[in-house]
Structure 1
Amino acid sequence: MKKVNIGGVPEHFNLAWYLTLKNGEYKDQNINLRWHDYYGGTGAMNKALRNGDIDIAVILTEGIIKDIIAGNSSKIVQTYVQTPLIWGIHVAHNSNYKTIEDLKGTKAAISRYGSGSHLMAYINAQNNNWNLEKDLDFEVIQNLNGAVEGLTNGNADYFLWEKYTTKPLVDNGIFRRIDDCPSPWPCFVIAVRNEFIENNTEELKTILNIINTTTQEFKNIPSIDRMIANRYEQQIEDVQEWLAITEWSQSNIDELTIMNVQKELKALDIIPKIVNYSDLVHDVQ
């Protein structure tokens, strides 16, 4: 049986992976797929891909593009979630900050440099016409628990993270959400180490076929809203709202989207150059 390591964030987007694993669908195809939760998000997964700790990552589009350009020997093989990620902009519940403008020049909590929370702080700054050199400052907090500690203690002032994942912290009076900042592109892709693509094409095809079958039917799974609410400690109405606006994908990311992401990252000086589509994307045939 072929052992394959895959990583992703422990969030509701990835429930489809949990369900297919629980059903033994990969083992039925002689694949021992081992899921690893990455609480540190994109930065932690990029490091794991580089180190060979995982073969596959379900990862933020902008984060993996940046890291491939920076030398990560991996490729995007498919879009996983087609819709943008809705990033909530959060402050500590008792913070004096009330508006986006209040946050100008203050310190953003980020999980890592090059992470989604880091890149989206730039997008938010650009959206609000801030000076990207003077109005941005960062505090590395590793993960969501670190953000709770950092904002509560005043080591950082605001934090961008997926809106529905952080909603329980808002409901419990730990965070207060000031506004939303959608990513300007499809949020999650599936990225695979080049070595694994070259040596395990058939296994990769099988894995993608299994997950794609489930994501196609995901919204029609009986009581899926209750399942998500219970597993991720969310309010049922929040889950229903999230399901209504979220679309999964079963196809690869297109060239126009890849170029648009790169243009945005280049304009923000997050990447040094724009590379060819084929340098970032591989079609599994």
Structure 2
Amino acid sequence: MGFRIGFVPEHFSTPIHFAQKHYGLDAELVPFPSGTGHMITALRAGEIDVGIGLTEGWVAGLGKAQEAGEEDGGYRLVGTYVETPLCWAISTGADRPEIQSVDSLQGGKIGVSRIGSGSYVMGYVLADERGWLVPTAAVGTAKEQASPYSDTVVLNTFEKLRGAVNSGEADFFMWEHFTSKRYYDNGEIRKVGEIYTPWSSWKIVASTRLLSAESPQDTSRIDDLLDKLNLGIRHFNEHTEEAVQYISTQLDYSEADAREWLKTVRFPERTQGVDPQVVDSTVEILCKAGVLAVGGGVNAPAMIEKTR
């Protein structure tokens, strides 16, 4: 029986589709349009076996579990899916004249898909970059970090996030640039800025149930899964027209945007393993941004099952 793989049904998922279509990837692909935070919940509940999602979401989830004294965060990092950083577009409502720049968002209401998701974590990275964070000394410990926003509105889906910035329920949200662009082009939302992740953007995780010493056959199946993804990525790189066709007909993108995105993304030749330095630097930035606590018991090496 194949794995249940959680993935985000966006343009980045194209090599996964190719691995299944052309190379016999034996898996049930389970879409999570609400993103990495939702996949963490599903992994811990035993609803999926593997997740392909955003670096910051996975690392924040494991860091929070370690801070809470949980030995098993429910999953560990086994592979690297995208080498390039992610461009997060910062969006507000179409008719919000009071919001003209990123600086006008300080102290505003941020919309996020879930607490702990990439859209949540990047709100703190943005605040850190802009100098909006209250120094932790002023509020005691890092765990008591004052939020740079007046409210964090959890909205689950991209569609609800777009609705919330137009209704005024939220002032802004962050989502991947090309996924947002169609809604700039049709006038539904407006772009006020963008921010890049300071790390390579996508990682592959496996449930700790699969990684337990009692099931070596599951470990070899994970290796086989990663090999199939390597083939899907190679196919993606060698068949760009097929990729554009798939993205522009099966997913929510125009052909022009699909071509433009292809110029910006780089997948690894080998998905196996994670660079410990990437995880270390992600933890460091998440601590600086107040997502994780400095000295809160976060153990970056323990997050990694397979190193590069």
- In the superposition, the TM-score normalised over structure 1's length comes to 0.92
1:145 aligns with 2:159: yes
**2:211 is matched with which residue?**
197
User: Structure 1 residues 38 and 233, CA, compared in 2 at 3 Å: closer, same or farther?
Assistant: closer
**1:281 is matched with which residue?**
304
- AA of the residue aligned to 2:128: Q
For residue 284 of structure 1, report the CA deviation from its aligned partner: 8.0
**1:271 is matched with which residue?**
292
User: Structure 1 residues 134 and 271, CA, compared in 2 at 3 Å: closer, same or farther?
Assistant: closer
CA–CA distance in 1 between the matches of 2:300 and 2:91? 34
CA–CA distance in 1 between the matches of 2:196 and 2:20? 30
Name the SS for the 1:145 alignment partner. helix
Instruction: Tell me which moved more, 114-123 or 247-256.
Output: 247-256
Show CA shifts across 1:206-238 (max 9, x none).
111011122134132151223312222323232
Q: Unaligned stretches of 5+ in structure 1?
A: none
Identity in percent: 27
Q: Residue 35 of structure 1: which of 29, 35, 39 is its match?
A: 29
1:1-285 equivalence runs, <5 A: 2-23=1-22, 25-26=24-25, 31=26, 33-69=27-63, 70=65, 71=70, 72-96=73-97, 97-132=99-134, 133=146, 135-136=148-149, 137-198=151-212, 199=215, 200-223=218-241, 224-249=243-268, 250=270, 251-272=272-293, 273=296, 275-283=298-306
CA–CA distance in 2 between the matches of 1:25 and 1:134? 46
Instruction: Tell me which moved more, 263-272 or 35-44.
Output: 263-272
Give the CA RMSD over aligned residues: 1.8
CA contact (8 A) 1:205 1:284 kept: no
User: Structure 1 residues 24 and 215, CA, compared in 2 at 3 Å: closer, same or farther?
Assistant: closer
Q: Give the number of equivalent residue pairs.
A: 279
CA–CA distance in 2 between the matches of 1:159 and 1:134? 15
Q: Unaligned stretches of 5+ in structure 2?
A: 135-145
**2:143 is matched with which residue?**
none
- AA of the residue aligned to 1:130: W
- In the superposition, the TM-score normalised over structure 2's length comes to 0.86
CA–CA distance in 1 between the matches of 2:21 and 2:93? 37
